[in-house]
Amino acid sequence: MGETSVRLKENVAGFLCYLLGWITGLIFLVIEPKNRFVRFQALQSIVVFGVLTVILLAVGLLTDTGYFFGILLFLGALCWVWLMAAAYFGLQYRLPLVGNLVEKWLT
């Protein structure tokens, strides 16, 4: 595993891309211009958690169903933990649909 331009190991930077969802993804996408592994994790974090944020906000504003909100939150949390662990162990896990889209954007 290589270093990044922010002097972190790429697995640690990849982990941090998911730490605060799309916010840290955006930060690492801006501050890491070269490391493809970190940029992939950052962009995937932005897409996945940006979409989840929009859905959760829409559901919360448009409906009064806490059950659906809870299911989305639980699924988002599972996804969050999985992606952070995969990045930390150096795996470039591609989520279905999102991973391929992110890969196209990086090339």
The boundaries of the domain holding residue 80 are 10-106
Task: Let me know if residue 4 belongs to a domain.
Answer: no
User: pLDDT digits over 47-57, tens only?
Assistant: 998 988 887 77
Contact status, residue 44 vs residue 73, Cβ threshold 8 Å: no
Is 80 part of a structural domain of the chain? Answer: yes
**Does 2 map to a domain?**
no
Tell me whether residue 52 is in a domain: yes
Check if the beta carbon of residue 29 is closer than 8 Å to that of residue 36.
no
Q: CA–CA separation, 1 vs 89, rounded Å? A: 10
In a domain, 5, yes or no: no
The whole-chain average pLDDT of the chain stands at 86
Pick from 18, 8, 10: which is nearest to 38 by CA?
A: 10
pLDDT 10s digits, 14-49: 999 999 999 999 999 999 998 999 999 999 999 998
State pTM to two decimals. 0.80
Q: Is residue 3 part of a domain?
A: no
Q: Is 1 a member of any domain?
A: no
69: in domain: yes
Q: How many domains would you assign to the chain?
A: 1
Distances in Å between the Cα of 35 and the Cα atoms of 53, 55, 103 are 26, 30, 14
